[in-house]
Chain A
């Protein structure tokens, strides 16, 4: 019974437009190219400002985090509340390996990314083995995040504790210039998008979709649900670790807030909720929008948090599937292509939560 309810969750909160996906490769490459082309000229107008370029690089790092989290939560329904911690394993790990152990930068990024991947896979393996539901997976990974934070503060010789640490490796190279880090992170975003896009077209993507929609049915159809969950976590955690460690070298200093729960996990959740959980481009839409809005509202300081609180509530009440699916269904309706299958998406777009409720009932 409880397994079946997990399926109901999938249909009501995690939605995507990818149901019809007999897409050919150009159909995937063109939108990714459009994203790249849209984001590439950004340094032309804000390239003079070191502060704004820093904001843009951080925004792209967040886009990477959101894609990684999307692969884990959006594709396989595992609520990993340790996005920041996994990225932090990458970031702190790479910094310590490069500075203290003396590995070359690329090698330390590689090793730290592997460490994050392994940790993510292990967490998922434990959750799957103990068949924890969405909520319990969330709580166990939250406990992991808290332990990671305690470790950062405790091992102050290596991490610099509360004040953080500087990273000596990479100083004076292109990694600390004003413009190149932006393109480095943008390349990561595009590669991650491509990987996620290809993944969705592969047999793994089909398995993800099946287990997300109805776990029991997927199991009955011969899909090894446990194995594909761990795959999802491994891929997502690798993205988080790689993005976290790369960002660390472009930033040049780390502190517990760089990868903090409130600073990363919550923000990523808002971004993804805004863009659309489980969609390919939702993370980008969410990250870009959030970064711009955050920069505009920066003078309001702490009051921004109030705005995000209101945003979360309105989003989940009015558009539980996020902006992309909502806009997509409106677009289909405008073009008169709305079929009977799309009606549920359209209804949620008009904010009718009763429909979501009815759906989850029918799934029981």
Chain B
């Protein structure tokens, strides 16, 4: 049981990080980015190509993160321009449809050109015992990176002026504008951050399972579900929802079996959405 819960936490941290990049952009800009998984996959492929070219793993990962950030910037500067002119629900709908188009373009190209390409990062060394449970070193490194990222994100949002500025825009865009914050600059920053997070998700995931060119859609879908369960625009909610869903998923898989566990996971998500439409930690407007 302890093994299950630890595995669940490992998976849950991944889920949480996955949702964070999506939830921030939604909370700040009302933009639902369905090309999120494709951003992650593209960055992972950049890492894979860099390593094929003989670049050592660490700089290659750096290239991947940079690629993710640039993709976010690119989306902000091109396809999302017309989206920003709309407001509220039309903005969400248009952003959703346009980024769906982007995800098609990226997926179509990647699967056509590199159908079998996959990124796997091998973390050397044997299993490590935690609470008497042997854990794979890859999962531990991935979880450690994820945890550090979360701590860094919380510090950024709580302690730095820039982080507070971003939060002020999430809370009240008009008010933020009145005290001299440019919401569009904050949005650009968050889109870049979201791209970097997407890249980080793909990279840490590749330490546990291979990331293929076809992984994009499932990454987006899971990110979306965790985001909604945690509450749109809520980073702490995303982390909590990720860990809960991760544990539910692993425990159900162990007790019942694979496909029903997925249904239980989805059912848990659906029930949460129906009972608390604002999300686990969301505040009802």
Chain A: residues with CB nearer than 8 A to chain B? Answer: 2, 5-6, 8-9, 12-13, 126, 130, 132-136, 139-140, 142-144, 146-147, 150-151, 153-154, 262, 266, 273, 301-313, 316-317, 320, 353-354, 356-357, 360-361, 364
Q: Does B104 contact A (CB under 8 A)?
A: yes
Cα(A310)–Cα(B104), bound, Å: 8
Q: Contact check, A310 vs B101: say whether CB atoms are below 8 A apart.
A: yes
| Chain B residue with Cβ nearest A156 | B259
- B32 proximity list for chain A (CB < 8 A): 135
18 interchain pairs, CB-CB under 8 A: A134-B92, A135-B89, A139-B225, A146-B221, A150-B260, A150-B262, A153-B259, A262-B217, A301-B112, A303-B108, A303-B109, A309-B102, A309-B105, A313-B98, A316-B94, A353-B82, A353-B85, A357-B90
Q: Contact check, A8 vs B85: say whether CB atoms are below 8 A apart.
A: no
Cα(A311)–Cα(B104), bound, Å: 10
Q: Does B277 contact A (CB under 8 A)?
A: yes
| Chain A residue with Cβ nearest B232 | A135
- B127 proximity list for chain A (CB < 8 A): none
Cα(A69)–Cα(B92), bound, Å: 20
Q: Contact check, A312 vs B88: say whether CB atoms are below 8 A apart.
A: no
Q: Contact check, B111 vs A302: say whether CB atoms are below 8 A apart.
A: yes
Cα(A151)–Cα(B92), bound, Å: 31
Q: Contact check, B263 vs A150: say whether CB atoms are below 8 A apart.
A: yes
B101 → A minimal CB distance (Å): 4
Can you add 15 more A-B contacts, CB < 8 Å, to A134-B93, A312-B97? A146-B221, A147-B262, A147-B267, A301-B112, A303-B112, A306-B108, A307-B108, A310-B101, A313-B98, A313-B101, A313-B102, A317-B82, A320-B94, A353-B85, A356-B90
A8 → B minimal CB distance (Å): 6
The A contact surface, by secondary structure, is helix
Q: Contact check, B104 vs A308: say whether CB atoms are below 8 A apart.
A: yes
The 10 tightest CB contacts between A and B, nearest first, are: A154-B259, A305-B108, A309-B104, A312-B101, A309-B105, A302-B112, A306-B108, A313-B101, A150-B262, A309-B101
Q: Contact check, A357 vs B89: say whether CB atoms are below 8 A apart.
A: no
For residues 90 through 118 of chain B, which have their beta carbon under 8 Å from a beta carbon of chain A?
90, 92-94, 96-98, 100-109, 111-112, 115
Q: Contact check, B90 vs A360: say whether CB atoms are below 8 A apart.
A: yes
- A13 proximity list for chain B (CB < 8 A): 90, 93-94
The B contact surface, by secondary structure, is helix
For residues 227 through 280 of chain B, which have their beta carbon under 8 Å from a beta carbon of chain A?
228, 258-260, 262-263, 266-267, 269-270, 273-274, 277
Contact with A316, one of B101, B108, B273 (Cβ below 8 angstroms): B101
Q: Contact check, B89 vs A5: say whether CB atoms are below 8 A apart.
A: yes
A54 → B minimal CB distance (Å): 23
| Chain B residue with Cβ nearest A152 | B259
Cα(A153)–Cα(B258), bound, Å: 10
- A144 proximity list for chain B (CB < 8 A): 270
Q: Contact check, B112 vs A140: say whether CB atoms are below 8 A apart.
A: no
A212 → B minimal CB distance (Å): 13
- B96 proximity list for chain A (CB < 8 A): 135
Interface size on B, residues (CB 8 A): 46
A346 → B minimal CB distance (Å): 19
Cα(A316)–Cα(B115), bound, Å: 29
Q: Does B57 contact A (CB under 8 A)?
A: no
Q: Contact check, A312 vs B104: say whether CB atoms are below 8 A apart.
A: yes
- A142 proximity list for chain B (CB < 8 A): 221, 224
Q: Does B285 contact A (CB under 8 A)?
A: yes
Cα(A354)–Cα(B81), bound, Å: 12
Q: Contact check, B112 vs A360: say whether CB atoms are below 8 A apart.
A: no
| Chain B residue with Cβ nearest A261 | B217
Q: Contact check, A136 vs B102: say whether CB atoms are below 8 A apart.
A: no
Cα(A130)–Cα(B272), bound, Å: 12
- A140 proximity list for chain B (CB < 8 A): 270, 273-274
| Residue among B85, B106, B260 with max Cβ neighbours from chain A (10 Å) | B85
Q: Contact check, A309 vs B103: say whether CB atoms are below 8 A apart.
A: yes
Q: Does B122 contact A (CB under 8 A)?
A: no
- B98 proximity list for chain A (CB < 8 A): 312-313, 316-317
Q: Contact check, A306 vs B225: say whether CB atoms are below 8 A apart.
A: no
Cα(A151)–Cα(B32), bound, Å: 28
Q: Contact check, B266 vs A147: say whether CB atoms are below 8 A apart.
A: yes
B38 → A minimal CB distance (Å): 10
| Chain A residue with Cβ nearest B106 | A309
B274 → A minimal CB distance (Å): 5
Q: Does B87 contact A (CB under 8 A)?
A: yes
Cα(A295)–Cα(B230), bound, Å: 43
Q: Does B79 contact A (CB under 8 A)?
A: yes
| Chain A residue with Cβ nearest B228 | A139
| Chain A residue with Cβ nearest B82 | A353
Q: Contact check, A273 vs B97: say whether CB atoms are below 8 A apart.
A: yes
A230 → B minimal CB distance (Å): 16
Q: Does B155 contact A (CB under 8 A)?
A: no
Q: Does B86 contact A (CB under 8 A)?
A: yes
- B93 proximity list for chain A (CB < 8 A): 9, 13, 134-135
Cα(A160)–Cα(B263), bound, Å: 18
A311 → B minimal CB distance (Å): 8
Q: Contact check, B274 vs A310: say whether CB atoms are below 8 A apart.
A: no
| Chain B residue with Cβ nearest A150 | B262
